[in-house]
Amino acid sequence: MALQSGPHIISFSSGKGGVGKTTVAVNIAVCLSREGKRVLLIDGDLGLANVDVVLGLDVRHTIRETVEDGRDLRDTLVEISPGFFVLPASSGVPEMTRLSREDQELLLKALEGVTGNFDYVLVDTAAGIGESVLWFNNWVNSHCIIFSPDPTSMTDAYALMKVLTTRYDKKNFLLIVNQVQSGKEGKAIFSNMERVLAQFLDIKPEFLGAIPRDNAVVRAIRSQKPFLQTEPDSRAGRALKRICISLTEGLNGS
């Protein structure tokens, strides 16, 4: 087995909006950093940022200033706790979702200048299959795809994986089913998706786990804190810790 060099770079995408990408990405980032990993969480929703909202951050600089003014990306990083950094995006800036080729190259160079300092780089992307979503997914090595038992979220997640596989030759999909009633439901929903992916795209995804629909998550979002911090022993908190273990073990090939 080849040794991993450099950080694990993972996107969090879903197709459909509102399924829990930001919530899951933020809490996985918190979980990994508590394990002593150096973590960078990038808000890849360049036009409608919300990592800062979920974490209750007071953001001064964003990725936009790097792209538009050439500001050093290192000045934009916000340190949340030792070894855990967030790279915030701008909100209400629709043009940021359509980066020109020069801007893309600039951003890529800037990102590559900072990612080497981390064990994990997580990218919370926008919804849909727009340009920025595909761009970030093309950049990362693994794709964490989040969906819920809602059939429209499943078809949208499938559509996203289809584009990534057929157009970008991406196959490394790590699936999370969010907002389930029970673990059993989560496994059944994953099995359905697994079957469809095998049949139509000839790919085999990995199941990271399921997260129950839990009011602890809703309460945490209202208080702008990660649920892993406010209610770590809630059902969602325990599920998230198991997912974090699957993620790190899966990526290390054990």
Ligand X SMILES: Nc1ncnc2c1ncn2[C@@H]1O[C@H](COP(=O)(O)OP(=O)(O)O)[C@@H](O)[C@H]1O
Residues that bind ligand X (CB under 6 A): 14, 17-23, 127, 178-179, 211, 213-214, 217-218, 221, 236
The partner residues of 173 in beta bridges, in order of sequence, read 143
The least distance separating ligand X from the CB of residue 89, rounded to whole angstroms, comes to 13
Site for Mg ion contains 33 (CB under 5 A): no
Contact 59, 52 (CB under 8 A): yes
Nearer to Mg ion, 145 or 197 (CB): 145
To 5 degrees, how large is the angle CA 172–CA 243–CA 178? 85
Nearer to ligand X, 174 or 217 (CB): 217
The least distance separating ligand X from the CB of residue 254, rounded to whole angstroms, comes to 27
**Partner interacting with residue 236 (select from ligand X, Mg ion, none; CB below 5-8 Å by kind):** ligand X
The least distance separating ligand X from the CB of residue 161, rounded to whole angstroms, comes to 16
To 5 degrees, how large is the angle CA 48–CA 54–CA 57? 90
Q: What one-character DSSP code corresponds to residue 48?
A: B
Site for Mg ion contains 11 (CB under 5 A): no
Site for Mg ion contains 22 (CB under 5 A): yes
Contact 139, 125 (CB under 8 A): no
**Partner interacting with residue 218 (select from ligand X, Mg ion, none; CB below 5-8 Å by kind):** ligand X
Contact 177, 211 (CB under 8 A): yes
Nearer to ligand X, 11 or 110 (CB): 11
**Partner interacting with residue 90 (select from Mg ion, ligand X, none; CB below 5-8 Å by kind):** none
Q: Which residue has the tokens 């915030």?
A: 88
Determine whether 238 is exposed, middle or buried from the number of CB atoms within 10 Å of its CB (0-12, 13-18, 19+).
middle
Nearer to Mg ion, 18 or 36 (CB): 18
Category of 139 on φ-ψ map: left (φ > 0), alpha (ψ -120 to 50) or beta:
alpha
The residues that touch Mg ion, with contacts defined as CB under 5 A, are 21-22, 50
